[in-house]
Amino acid sequence: MHIVMVGSGYVGLVSGTCFADFGHQVTCVDNDAGKIDLLNAGRMPIYEPGLEALVAENVRHGRLRFSTDLASAVAAADAVFIAVGTPSRRGDGFADLSYVHAAAREIAHALKGFTVVVTKSTVPVGTGDEVERIIRNARPDAEVAVVSNPEFLREGAAIEDFKRPDRIVIGADSERGAAIMAEIYRPLYLNQAPILYTDRRTAELTKYAANAFLATKITFINEIADLCEQVGANVQQVARGIGLDNRIGSKFLHAGPGYGGSCFPKDTLALVKTAQDAGTPVRLVETVVSVNDQRKRAMARKVIVACGGSVREKTIAILGLTFKPNTDDMRDAPSLSIITGLQDGGAKIRAYDPEGMEASRALLSNVTYAGDAYECATGADAVVIVTEWNAFRALDFIRLRAVMTAPVMVDLRNVYKAEDLKRRGFRYTGVGQAHSLSPTPDDEHATV
């Protein structure tokens, strides 16, 4: 099959590369000539584990190419996927569909022969109807089927998610369109990936409902964590206790500084707006959005309390900037609110992240960036783990304590056990634990 991906960002690049690896002929198109030049030079515009090697392999075998020429690519395509951005619109939080609509218009003028146009971008209910209207208005003679095929990729594990998905959702209102999609995904039959065929609107809503539910799980366990801190319980044990129930499950029950990234913040807002416009407000999701925003700001206050109630003129070392490990994505990352809150309190910020520092420079000011965790901690009055990168899971605490001004650890991801840090002479604050643990006088000189 000849496939075109319109948009060579995170979703388009990963999806297009994986389709090519299945044996399809794929052209990833983007109107950003700089991005296409970068890809043609073998360099990735995003960080995703394994992606660079997979791109190189499929380019070498002639199955994957990159271009700014949408018209030529679409003319030869069996299926054209729209994988452009749908950021939150300023003012009301609704998804900005201007890029989707523009892509639909450009695709319409280039269509030749029967073609399936697929919305891969996360879009509100009814977007497929509008895409079809745009195409048919521009090209009444076009043979086209408009299909919804939402993506369910986790940043940092996107290739594995694409090749071994929990499910594939295809919203098609025509048998001919569904047949083309079945052929595109035929290589996954060997993995027995469940394929759910629905109408277009159901597929569109399924994506939003999934992300809203996962965001709700995160927010729920974060609120339970706050309760644990007040009543003397441990949120990690509570999470394990409820997660062993198969009806609940253990995933997304890790207390922390709140969700961020490219999906949950904008998708929950878009779902709230869609529901309000439909006259059926989703009060639970509205609360999730509000609580999550408040939580990010509250994490700065947690650090200030751990530092004795003030961070003025103190140096705070931030380990981890991206919203999760194994990505360079800084969109709505909790670190942004935390660092801003600490700077408002008068703190000086040092930071280190394995992949996110370049992106963070455009979003944060007055931050000193370090080359590793120990350089970051040098002269610091506190170390704060914000993102649970593997590089932070086995720190040398003797070395860390030796370079710090004060042995204070604020672990917003509960990477470490409080008792272990106390034994090594640190004052430790985690999330969802009864209280911070301080070293005893003997512990102050501990070396192991």
Same domain, 265 and 119: no
Give residue 164's pLDDT: 93
Residues in the chain: 448
Which whole number is the average pLDDT over 384-401? Answer: 96
Which 3-state string (H, E, C) describes 101-153?
HHHHHHHHHHCCCCEEEEECCCCCCCHHHHHHHHHHHHCCCCCEEEEECCCCC
Same domain membership, residue 308 and residue 257: yes
pLDDT at position 283 is 97
Q: Which residue carries 């899971």 as its tokens? A: 393
Spatial separation of the C-alpha atoms in residues 190 and 95, rounded to whole Å: 36
- Give residue 275's domain range: 202-448
The confidence score (pLDDT) of residue 435 equals 59
Same domain assignment for residues 85 and 151: yes
pLDDT (tens digit per residue) in 173-215: 999 999 999 999 999 977 778 999 999 999 999 999 999 999 9
Collapsed DSSP state (helix, strand, coil) of residue 334 = helix
Question: Do residues 414 and 222 make contact, with C-beta atoms less than 8 angstroms apart?
Answer: no
Same structural domain, 154 and 228: no
Q: Which residues pair with 25 in a beta bridge?
A: 2
Domain boundary among 150, 170, 198: 198
| Candidate from 275-289, 316-330, 342-356, 428-442 with smallest mean pLDDT | 428-442
Q: Return the pLDDT at 193.
A: 84
Residue 92 confidence (pLDDT)? 79
Q: What are phi and psi of 7, to 5 degrees?
A: 110, 120
Q: Please write the tens of the pLDDT for every residue from 111-166.
A: 999 999 999 999 999 999 999 999 999 999 999 999 999 999 999 999 999 999 99
User: Which of 198, 223, 244 delimits the end of a domain?
Assistant: 198
CATH number assigned to the domain comprising residue 104: 3.40.50.720
Mean pLDDT rounded to a whole number for the chain: 94
Range name among 189-193, 220-224, 426-430 with the lowest pLDDT average: 189-193
| Listed residues 154, 174, 198: the one ending a domain | 198
Is 28 one of the annotated active-site residues of the chain?
Answer: no
Catalytic residue among 228, 263, 307, 376: 263
Q: Does 233 lie in the same domain as 165?
A: no
- Check whether 440 has a pLDDT greater than 50: no
- The count of structural domains within the chain is 2
pLDDT over 90 percentage in the chain:
93
Model confidence at 69, pLDDT cuts 50, 70, 90, reads very high
Q: Which of 158, 123, 136, 132 is nearest to 51 (CA)?
A: 158
Q: 124, 155 in Cβ contact below 8 A?
A: no
Predicted local confidence at residue 436, as pLDDT: 52
Q: Binning pLDDT at 50, 70 and 90, where does residue 439 land?
A: low
